[in-house]
Structure 1
């Protein structure tokens, strides 16, 4: 696991050295729910920022160079789900591609692709409040000095607009593969721990009827990617940072994974 993450950090850092000062390096990490993509994206972003702090202490000034932006904030709100033609299905399938505001995400990516200049303003992305079960607008700030952005989300390599349009604007696409049985076990644990399922049977039903249905679409509709990583169970490794959920109302939870 460490070797793989170190390789990705080194690769990204080397690639960043060739990026003009007026431009950002954008990487999108995707995978099915429970794949471990959140953990991977968060660790790589943190390691890159730590590397910048060590190598360029005079310019760091406690301002991050790299940041991690999860896609949870682009969930449609519960009010928006209520307004869809079939609100019952929309709520039940929350986490499916049609329950995300992909157009707003594409708008952000386009803005991040504009040249950085002295007049550039801070940009904002939404986060997700798991207690309120809704997005929080403009909660993640991206200041002009942030020049490496690691996005994470289920659909960031999906061959369907607007996701594929955003993917075309990325410098790299990474995809985390996982066996569906491994993902299901993680999702069951997550749903029970978060209190959104009353027991393992209920959590398994949620995983089978929504998360893994979405996972099939994600795998079958995947674009070609630059990095294809395999996520395996690893009960001996605790990740450095907690991930956020993969699509529904779950609380943040740790993934236990090795990436090979």
Structure 2
């Protein structure tokens, strides 16, 4: 029996709702063994980020090589990478080990509104990591920031931005519509074959901490289990929608609380 394994390369969230912690919970909830490479330590809670401590690039490299030299990684999820030397180290590691699937979540702004990606890192992300990605998962503001354009206001603009993001070299783009205002949350999966609208009912809750991390990790989990891209994305969206719907079962913190990763189990 082969154990599906996914690797998250991301920052740590001291409050446990996003980052590495959310990624590992997502992997576990979906039946995938999770490994991790930590790129940064954050001091944060449900109300915001109060500090970021970067992990040196050479130690990120050491973590990557330690994991890949021993574990059969089925998919990689990349989250918070705020420092250009770390982005370079990750890109070099991916080229060295050639994982089959890479899910890149360009984490630029936290749910609380705190900016997590320095301006000088955006160029490195765009040119070094996006071309190596099987799929990137920006939300509407992140897609606009990556292209240095205004935020898309309608479906046609979203699909147009998806096409321009594909031109940066990734195989697929999932633009997340969670920041929209409509009664439905519509994500757009864009590939060279066209775009698919994925719709779910928008859920009224303030407990949305770590939703982006969790969705990209769930996609990576599906890919690690051998699912195709569209299937992995659809399954991940359905699972996350249920996790958000169950979030109010928790009473965690005083701000944007976490989603319920293990809603199927308790």
TM-score in same-fold range (> 0.5): no
How does the TM-score come out when normalised to structure 1?
A: 0.36
Relative contact order (C-alpha < 8 Å, sep 6+): which is higher?
1
